[in-house]
Structures are given as C-alpha cells and as structure tokens.
Chain A
Amino acid sequence: EAQVTQNPRYLITVTGKKLTVTCSQNMNHEYMSWYRQDPGLGLRQIYYSMNVEVTDKGDVPEGYKVSRKEKRNFPLILESPSPNQTSLYFCASSQNGQGGWGYTFGSGTRLTVV
C-alpha cells in the first residue's frame, strides 16, 4: 500500500529536550515536506526537500532541522523544543516536477511541549 508513515502519533516532551519525528514514504517520491497545523492558521510549511541531500526552508523553519540522507526518509528534528512548537505536524510526499499532483500525507504527530 502506498503510504507515508509518520511516528510517533502523540508525543509529550519537556522544554529543551531534543526530539525527532520520523517520516518514511514507499512511493519513490522525490519531494517531501513538513507542515505544522495550528487552529485558525491552517497548515504552514516548515521545510521541504526536492531530493536526497537537497532541503530548503519553508515558511516557518525557525526551531526545526531536517535531513534527507535517503530518498524514502525525511525526519524532523527539534533540537531544543519550546512550548510555541506545540502543534500538529504532518509529513507529506509528492511527485516532483511539473504537474498538479496532490500530496500524500502521514497520519500526523500531535506534539505537546511543556
């Protein structure tokens, strides 16, 4: 089954404790992206990657890191989480290049930073 697998589904952590949210896709997609969803703000892009070792900032990258060492994996790293990073996070993947493909989304990670 074509899917984006994102873990964990729920995570509660304390301020300053480094964490990683994993994301993996099995569709051989070149393009992968992280979004955060906040009430009244919709989904905003954090980082994206167009291929292995090619990443770039989205609209709200502060406080986040990513890496793309393999095509299928695109982890999101919070080196020193703060309460304002409490949010719902989505990983997504897509075909790259011209065309209007929609995204395939992971099931989301609800992160709470206390």
Chain B
Amino acid sequence: AQTVTQSQPEMSVQEAETVTLSCTYDTSESDYYLFWYKQPPSRQMILVIRQEAYKQQNATENRFSVNFQKAAKSFSLKISDSQLGDAAMYFCAYRSPYGGATNKLIFGTGTLLAVQP
C-alpha cells in the first residue's frame, strides 16, 4: 500500500522569503500523480500544484514549484516570495493513475505554515 509522509508538522517563514515543505512517499507503482493542497483557515481544500510521475520536468505554478525526485520518492514544495496569504496547512497527496477503486487520494499528515510579517 502507498504511504505519504510529511515530517515537518510546523514551519515558519518571513514574508518575502522562500520556504520548502518536505514530502516523501512509498509506492511500488511506476506511474502515479502527486499533489500539494493548501488548506487556509477557511478550511477549503485548494489544489496548489500537480506532478505526473512520468514527467521529469518539475511542475511550477507562479510562486509555487516542486522538486520531484522519483528515485528518492521525494516531492517537496517550494514557495518563493512568501506572502501572508500563504499561511495555511499544506497537504501532500498521492494518487494511482488507474482509476476505479484506486482513485483514492492518499494524504500526508500536513505541514502548518506560518508567515511572519
């Protein structure tokens, strides 16, 4: 069974600085998808970025980018030029590509990011 591990329960960053959130996963599958979700105090789950395992190029969305290391099974999220609105819980998630009963998103335990002004 696949597992996702986020080893940093809490992180803090100064406004305008860069922070990296860590995520590792375990799987025997060669194809899969990885996600980062943001959960602000409003509780809404917001998709930040998505990575396809068969693509070597790291995904990027504006100030958010990932460092995907397939061999190491590592999927870290880098937030550049941090803003106060980035303060939130961040969840890393894994999904098999095959659909059906394997459609499940498997989540890590989350990292709570504080942004200091």
Report A's interface with B, CB cutoff 8 A: 31, 33, 35, 40-45, 48, 50, 56, 58, 88, 90, 92, 94, 96-100, 102-103, 105, 107-108, 110
* CA of A41 to CA of B32, assembled, Å: 22
Nearest A residue to B36, CB-CB: A102
Nearest A residue to B6, CB-CB: A42
* CA of A88 to CA of B4, assembled, Å: 20
* CA of A99 to CA of B103, assembled, Å: 9
State whether B99 touches A105 (Cβ < 8 A): no
Known A-B contacts A40-B109, A88-B43; the reply to A100 vs B101 at CB < 8 A is no
Known A-B contacts A43-B91, A108-B43, A108-B44; the reply to A103 vs B105 at CB < 8 A is yes
| B75 on interface, CB distance cutoff 8 Å | no
Known A-B contacts A100-B33, A100-B95, A102-B50; the reply to A50 vs B101 at CB < 8 A is yes
**Chain B residues near A56 (CB-CB < 8 A):** 101
State whether B97 touches A100 (Cβ < 8 A): yes
| B84 on interface, CB distance cutoff 8 Å | no
Chain A interface, >50% SS class: strand
State whether A42 touches B97 (Cβ < 8 A): no
| B11 on interface, CB distance cutoff 8 Å | no
Contact size range, B: 20 to 34
Instruction: Specify which of B42, B99, B100, B104 is in contact with A33 (CB 8 Å cutoff).
Output: B104
**Chain B residues near A31 (CB-CB < 8 A):** 103
Instruction: Specify which of B47, B99, B100 is in contact with A102 (CB 8 Å cutoff).
Output: B47
**Chain B residues near A44 (CB-CB < 8 A):** 107
State whether B47 touches A99 (Cβ < 8 A): no
State whether B103 touches A94 (Cβ < 8 A): yes
State whether A42 touches B101 (Cβ < 8 A): no
State whether B52 touches A48 (Cβ < 8 A): no
List 18 extra interface pairs beyond A42-B4, A99-B99, A108-B45, CB under 8 A.
Answer: A31-B103, A40-B9, A43-B91, A43-B107, A44-B107, A48-B103, A48-B104, A50-B100, A58-B104, A88-B43, A92-B45, A92-B105, A97-B99, A98-B97, A100-B32, A100-B52, A102-B35, A105-B44
